[in-house]
Amino acid sequence: SQQGEEDPQALSIQEGENATMNCSYKTSINNLQWYRQNSGRGLVHLILIRSNEREKHSGRLRVTLDTSKKSSSLLITASRAADTASYFCATDTGNQFYFGTGTSLTVIP
Amino acid sequence: DTEVTQTPKHLVMGMTNKKSLKCEQHMGHRAMYWYKQKAKKPPELMFVYSYEKLSINESVPSRFSPECPNSSLLNLHLHALQPEDSALYLCASSQVEGWVEQYFGPGTRLTVT
Beta carbons of A43 and B102 less than 8 Å apart? yes
Lowest mean pLDDT among A34-43, B11-20, B31-40, B93-102: B93-102
Short-list A75, A70, A96, A86, CA closest to A19: A75
User: What is the Cα Rg of chain B in Å?
Assistant: 13
**Side-by-side strand order, sheet with A55-58:** A4-7, A19-25, A71-76, A61-66, A55-58
Mean residue pLDDT of chain A comes to: 94
B:46-85 residues touching chain A, CB 8 A cutoff: none
For residue B101, pLDDT over 80 is answered with yes
Q: In the predicted model, is pLDDT for residue B100 greater than 90?
A: no
pLDDT value of residue B2: 67
- Decide if A97 and B45 are in contact by the 8 Å CB cutoff: yes
pLDDT in tens, A64-75: 999 999 999 999
Q: Is B88 on the interface with A (CB under 8 A)?
A: yes
* A59 vs A95: which has the higher pLDDT: A59
Residues of A with CB below 8 A from B100's CB?
48
Percent of chain B surpassing pLDDT 70: 98
Q: Give Cβ neighbours of residue A62 (< 8 Å, ≥ 6 apart).
A: A55, A56, A74, A75, A77
The beta-carbon neighbor of A42 closest among B44, B45, B106 is B106
| A102 vs B42, B99, B106: nearest CB | B42
**pLDDT interval class at B98 (50, 70, 90):** confident
Q: How sure is the predictor about A59, in pLDDT bands with cuts at 50, 70 and 90? A: very high
**Sorting pLDDT into bands at 50, 70 and 90, what band is A4?**
confident
Beta strands in chain B (DSSP E): 4-7, 10-13, 18-25, 31-37, 44-50, 53-57, 64-70, 73-79, 87-94, 103-104, 108-112
Does residue A21 surpass a pLDDT of 60? yes
Q: Which chain B residues are closer than 8 Å to A5 by Cβ?
A: none
Q: What is the pLDDT of residue B104?
A: 96
Residue A1: its pLDDT value, please?
A: 46
Instruction: Write down how long chain B is.
Output: 113
